[in-house]
Every structure is written in C-alpha cells, then in structure tokens.
Amino acid sequence: MTSSETATERQRIDKWLFFARVVKSRSLAAKLAQGGRVRVNRNKIEQAAYAVKPGDVLTITLDRRILVYRVLAAGSRRGPAEEARTLYEDLTPQPTAPRAAEAQVPLREAGAGRPTKRERRALDRWRDEP
C-alpha cells in the first residue's frame, strides 16, 4: 500500500461529517467532534482530526436525535444529497413507540379552554356594567 492509497481511504472526521451533510459547515463538524458528541466504533473522540475509514461505525448525537452511520467511503466534495448518501449506510434504529406528545392529541369540547378575544371583550363589558 502506498501513502496515496491510505490518504484516500482515511479522512478527517470533520471533513467527512461536512461532506456527508450531517452538519451545515466544517467548523460545526469540528465543534461536534471536539465536544465529544461523536463516537467512532463506540469510542468517544475529541479531535476533529481523527481519521475515519470505510467500515467505521459513527454514533453522532445531534440536538434531539442520535444517528448511527457506517462509513462506506471517503468524500471528495460536498455535493448534492444523493451523492452524500453514498458515503454512509444509515443504521439508526427506528423508534418503536411514538412519543407521548405525538401519540395522543388532547381533545376538548367546543367552548372549553381559554376564551377567544371576542369572548374576552364580552366578559369585560359584562363586568364593567353597573
């Protein structure tokens, strides 16, 4: 193996996250890695220069989501979304049960709850009458 082959197989994690469209900018990708929110093969990394290779499994913690990706290839540019999807295989488990807030929308009868602006003005007029 020559040094040029190993250079194309491995890529900095911040560049890979940017090319795979996980984050909007490379600086955000670097902050994500340095913040300890990226794991490579279950090991927490803290450097944006950490090199990933095809076959590595990344666990990425974003806001309210956890993404699990298997690296398939190193990227050469930040292209369209279809090109970015060829860089990884999505292993993120599907949620088994819907979230409690999304599962049931509370139902209430008409007229129950807060008054409308029109109803509030009518109440104010009623209270102000002698």
CATH number of the domain bearing residue 41: 3.10.290.10
Tokens of 10: 């491995």
Better-scored residue on pLDDT, 24 or 1: 24
Q: Is residue 100 part of a domain?
A: no
CB hemisphere CA count around 9 (13 angstroms) = 10
Using CA atoms, how far residue 102 sits from 94, 106, 108, in Å, is 16, 10, 17
Residue-wise pLDDT for 25-74, tens only, equals 999 999 999 999 999 999 999 999 999 999 999 999 998 889 999 999 99
Q: Is residue 16 part of a domain?
A: yes
Summary mean pLDDT of the chain: 87
Q: What is the pTM of this model?
A: 0.69
For 76, the domain range is 3-94
Q: Is residue 25 part of a domain?
A: yes
Residue 109 has pLDDT above 90, yes or no: no
Tell me the pairing of strands 57-62 and 51-52. unpaired
The phi and psi torsions of 7 (rounded to 5 degrees) equal: -70, -35
Q: Please give the pLDDT value at position 94.
A: 86
Q: Is residue 110 part of a domain?
A: no
Q: Is residue 114 part of a domain?
A: no
Residue 98 has pLDDT above 50, yes or no: yes
Domain count, the chain: 1
Q: For residues 61 and 36, give the distance between their C-alpha atoms in angstroms, rounded to a whole number.
A: 9
